[in-house]
Amino acid sequence: MRKIIVGMGTCGLSAGAREVHQTIAELLAQGAAGPQGAELSITSCLGMCYREPLVEVREDGGRIIYGEVKPDRARDIVEKHLKGGQVITEWVVYSEDAAGNVGGSEKDFLALQKRIVLRNCGVINPESLEEYEAAGGYRALRQALFEMTPDGIIAEVKASGLRGRGGAGFPTGQKWSFAAANAGPVKYVVCNADEGDPGAFMDRSVLEGDPHAVLEGMIICGRAIGSSFGYIYCRAEYPLAIKRLNTAIADARRKGYLGKDILGSGHDFDIKIKQGAGAFVCGEETALFASIEGERGMPRLRPPFPAEKGLWQKPTNNNNVETYANIPWILVNGAPAYAAFGTEKSRGTKVFALAGSVNRGGLAEVPMGTTINQLVFGIGGGIKGGRKFKGVQMGGPSGGCIPHHLGETPVDFENIPKTGAIMGSGGMIVMDETTCMVDIARFFLNFTQDESCGKCTFCRIGTLRMLEILERITRGEGALDDVAKLQSLSAQIKEASLCGLGQTAPNPVLTTLRYFMGECLEHINHKKCPAKSCALLVAYRIDPAKCTGCTLCARNCASNAIRGKVKELHVVDDVLCIKCGKCITSCTFGAVYKD
Amino acid sequence: MANETKGADFTYRLWRYNGAQGELIPLLQSAQEHFGYIPRRAIKYISGVTNIPESSVYGVITFYNQFRLQPMGEHVIRLCVGTACHVSGAKLLVDTVIDELGIEVGGTTEDGVFTLFTVACLGCCSLAPVMMVDEETHGRLTPAAARKIIRAMRRRAKEQKPPAKVGSGEI
């Protein structure tokens, strides 16, 4: 049976996939697809967020994916393609025939990728256990239960070279062996799905697109370390991910993959979902445990490490969503197949969330060691609006900005930390010449300052002092010794904070000072923002081509600095202007700009 | 209807509570779902059932961003100020919406129609800048487009009737 599949991940839904799904359902019910008919199905994110909503037609072993499908396009696809057998080539973003020939306008986006974690995302229906099984799902679990010993599983994971995908890159096999070595009987497997880094959405897509892969990885981990209970700690901001996880858990229980005596092996394992309540620090494992226990999510001192005393003071293994999603593939295909990808010390692949000023924003999974330029220009298709590439921000509030001249840096656990940024969980924000780096540093510090749990003095107060200095600089009130103050505060905060949040909080500032010192000094010495971003350091101008003379800006101006008559060009008087920005926000024609 | 189920869920959860550890946050979440915020009396109920002191319950509430101690407006506007939205002009959008509604971030309009929040990331980074109104996400916004959306909603709210009692309904 041919299938017509609508991409219903969060990004697809916010682009209007639900309407498209409904339109197609109505058309199919009316028999508009012709005598052959078609089955309507859903899938999740394929990673091409920039062309959502996506609709795929799958027949005769081939796939044809249409992009930017609104209800009227959906109507055409049903009528012309399904009924008439005519492919509408100009809307095709990606196509693949039975012989493996690929085509479509966005084929480059997928060509450079190697999809292991995302193997099923955008391919199978995430709400169907049967489709996951048909794609080879739960084969690894059978292998782990009946063909391998717990030690054998750990040895295999070790041999694959898999390292924690949450950001720190601790070898997964080793972590498991620590938890396995500690005596039970009660141990826990925890999956960290508290993806709080603003600008990263890999875990969300995996949970929405392939929830069973994460469950399977966790059950295998439970078998390896001798645990019979797991928690998934998921952000409450991801309602769709939680819904699909719940469906997946119920289905897995029904089929005997979860619960008592899994598949008759004698091994028990069950999983419970805990919803986070919105605290960035809960991504730190000891804070996460505190939150599951119902406390304020504050980190604890380590050691004792979680492998010894974790959740409820019991031995616990905690990994990221992406790490668990790798496990089934590794067991089925073997450690050497996984280790064949990537670099010597960073094996396998990594999923990145490309966003910001990049033409093709979305999810991309590439072998470790792919360079930043390959990601930004090869997969991302270059910078939006033909502007100049300035740098990428990696690792979110714990990471830093890597300037464009280091674009040839391979992305792996060895080379990225050398730049001062961190691998992080995979958020990669591309920035162009209109982004002010001082402002970016201020932005991240504002975030960490707000999210600091307040336990450690240096993190609680030090970040606030740093934020005040950065705000001063962006207002044009910076002094030369501010740079030295920022550096010494950074060193102290790194030294005197208990958890990863504080220890890495100064990174965005340090990389800005390291690579963009010129821009910073320009703010301090000349009171100018080269990127024309900081509101108080620019002049406001009105574009004669766009101004209609509606007088709205002049009426909203707090200091009567805008002159002009009705239906005539308006002009800003720099002497009177207090740079409040009201003119920009009030103009309905986008005629006011910063210069 | 939906509200009744949610209320039932909250009382059911309280009634079912058997002293299991780690139930405080789920209880608070269901209280917030039921009342739209966490009223003083909910803190009392929870404290009474779980034997966790009211002060500790309050401490947990104020630690997490999700929990509200004030009722919210009929419509909740969440402006994304994540990294991708930030570099795509979220600041301008926030200023515009603040100007349009005449309230600060975290505030509720006098007529009880809108509550405005900013959030760190909605996860629709490729559609930046993004604004979420209730459950609906609007992407690739300009200040003018944001004003238009809000004005349309305000008109609809006025036409319908005087707004429902604040904080009694769903979030």
Judge if A368 and A315 occupy the same domain.
no
Judge if B49 and B84 occupy the same domain.
no
Q: Tokens 């308006």 label which residue?
A: A570
Residue B98 lies in a domain: yes
Last residue within a domain, chosen from A288, A315, A337: A337
Residue B166 lies in a domain: no
Judge if B57 and B79 occupy the same domain.
no
Judge if A227 and A156 occupy the same domain.
yes
The per-residue pLDDT for range B111-142, each reduced to its tens digit, is 889 999 998 887 778 788 888 888 788 888 88
Residue A41 lies in a domain: yes
Judge if A447 and A509 occupy the same domain.
yes
pLDDT (0 to 100) of residue B1: 37
B92 Cβ under 8 Å from any chain A Cβ: yes
Residue A123 lies in a domain: no
Last residue within a domain, chosen from B38, B63, B88: B63
- Percentage above 70 pLDDT, chain A: 100
User: Which tokens belong to A543?
Assistant: 């574009």
B89 Cβ under 8 Å from any chain A Cβ: no
The per-residue pLDDT for range A72-89, each reduced to its tens digit, is 999 999 999 988 888 898
pLDDT (0 to 100) of residue A264: 93
Residue B89, domain extent: 75-160
Q: What CATH number does the domain containing A215 carry?
A: 3.40.50.11540
Residue A359 lies in a domain: yes
A584 pLDDT tier (thresholds 50, 70, 90): confident
Judge if B149 and B114 occupy the same domain.
yes
pLDDT (0 to 100) of residue A59: 86
pLDDT at B44 over 80: yes
A7 Cβ under 8 Å from any chain B Cβ: no
Residue A234 lies in a domain: yes
Q: A366 has which bridge partners?
A: A350
The per-residue pLDDT for range B7-40, each reduced to its tens digit, is 567 877 787 787 777 889 999 998 988 888 999 9
Residue A297 lies in a domain: yes
Judge if B37 and B57 occupy the same domain.
yes
Q: Is A269 helix (H, G, I), strand (E, B) or coil?
A: strand
pLDDT (0 to 100) of residue B157: 85
Average pLDDT, integer, range A380-403:
91
- Closest CB to A356 among B87, B130, B137: B87
- Closest CB to A201 among B25, B125, B139: B125
Judge if B80 and B156 occupy the same domain.
yes
pLDDT (0 to 100) of residue A302: 86
Q: Give A371's DSSP letter.
A: B
- Percentage above 90 pLDDT, chain A: 67
Residue B119 lies in a domain: yes
pTM: predicted TM-score of the whole model, two decimal places: 0.90
Residue A499 lies in a domain: yes
Most confident range (mean pLDDT) of A279-283, A322-326, A380-384 is A322-326
Q: Where are the alpha helices (DSSP H) in A189-229?
A: 202-209, 211-225
Residue A533 lies in a domain: no
The per-residue pLDDT for range A256-310, each reduced to its tens digit, is 999 999 999 999 999 999 998 888 899 899 999 999 999 999 999 888 999 999 9
If residue A370 lies in a helix (H) or strand (E), which one and from where to where?
none
Q: What CATH number does the domain containing A95 carry?
A: 3.40.30.10
Residue B124 lies in a domain: yes
Question: Looking at A396-400, A524-528, B52-56, B85-89, which range is the least confident one?
Answer: B85-89
- Name every chain B residue with its beta carbon within 8 A of the beta carbon of A10: 123-124
Judge if A382 and A405 occupy the same domain.
yes
Measured in angstroms, the CA of A80 and the nearest CA of chain B are apart by 29
Judge if B83 and B148 occupy the same domain.
yes
Of the CA atoms within 13 Å of residue A304, those in its CB half-sphere come to 14
User: Which tokens belong to A580?
Assistant: 């409040």
Q: Tokens 């480059």 label which residue?
A: A108
In a mutational test of the B interface, the residue from A93, A237, A536 whose CB has the highest number of chain B CBs within 10 Å is: A237
A580 Cβ under 8 Å from any chain B Cβ: no
Q: What is the largest CA-CA distance in chain A?
A: 84
| Cα dist from A592 to A264, A435, A543, A554, whole Å | 70, 18, 6, 11
Judge if B114 and B55 occupy the same domain.
no
Judge if B57 and B83 occupy the same domain.
no
pLDDT at B169 over 60: no
Residue in A closest to B119 by C-alpha: A198
Judge if A331 and A313 occupy the same domain.
yes
Torsion of CA A73, A77, A78, A84, to 10 degrees: 140
pLDDT at A337 over 90: yes
Strand-by-strand arrangement of the A400-403 sheet? A362-367, A349-356, A427-432, A389-394, A400-403
Measured in angstroms, the CA of A355 and the nearest CA of chain B are apart by 6
Judge if A184 and A207 occupy the same domain.
yes
Torsion of CA A422, A423, A424, A427, to 10 degrees: 110
- Closest CB to A291 among B25, B99, B139: B25
Q: How confident is the prediction for chain A on average, in pLDDT? A: 91
Cα–Cα dist A527/A410, whole Å: 36
Structurally, chain B folds into a number of domains equal to 2
pLDDT (0 to 100) of residue B5: 54
Question: In this predicted complex, what is the ipTM?
Answer: 0.83
Judge if A140 and A170 occupy the same domain.
yes
Judge if A149 and A271 occupy the same domain.
yes
Residue B162 vs residue A194, higher pLDDT:
A194
Tell me if the bond preceding B26 is cis, omega within 30° of 0.
no
Q: What CATH number does the domain containing A547 carry?
A: 3.30.70.20
Judge if B59 and B26 occupy the same domain.
yes
pLDDT (0 to 100) of residue B158: 83
Measured in angstroms, the CA of B119 and the nearest CA of chain A are apart by 9
CB contact under 8 A, A590 and B95: no
Average pLDDT, integer, range A353-380:
92
Q: What CATH number does the domain containing B142 carry?
A: 3.40.30.10
Last residue within a domain, chosen from A79, A108, A137: A108
Which residues 28-87 of A have a C-beta within 8 angstroms of B?
49-50, 52
pLDDT (0 to 100) of residue A166: 86
B133 Cβ under 8 Å from any chain A Cβ: no
pLDDT at A49 over 70: yes
Judge if B46 and B14 occupy the same domain.
yes
CB contact under 8 A, A586 and B125: no
Of the CA atoms within 13 Å of residue B48, those in its CB half-sphere come to 9
Q: What CATH number does the domain containing A418 carry?
A: 3.10.20.600
If residue A374 lies in a helix (H) or strand (E), which one and from where to where?
none
**How would you class B117 by CB atoms within 10 Å of its CB: exposed for 0-12, middle for 13-18, buried for 19 or more?**
middle
Judge if B93 and B38 occupy the same domain.
no
Residue B171 lies in a domain: no
Last residue within a domain, chosen from A277, A308, A337: A337
Structurally, chain A folds into a number of domains equal to 5
Cα–Cα dist A220/A118, whole Å: 19
Judge if A403 and A360 occupy the same domain.
yes
Residue A411, domain extent: 349-432
Residue B169 lies in a domain: no
- Give me the helix-helix angle, B2-16 and B24-35, nearest 10°: 150
Q: How confident is the prediction for chain B on average, in pLDDT? A: 84
Residue B57 lies in a domain: yes
Judge if A157 and A277 occupy the same domain.
yes
Judge if A259 and A320 occupy the same domain.
yes
pLDDT at B88 over 90: no
Judge if A224 and A328 occupy the same domain.
yes
CB contact under 8 A, B83 and A10: no
pLDDT (0 to 100) of residue A101: 85
Last residue within a domain, chosen from B11, B28, B63: B63
Residue A245 lies in a domain: yes
Judge if B52 and B88 occupy the same domain.
no
pLDDT at B162 over 80: no
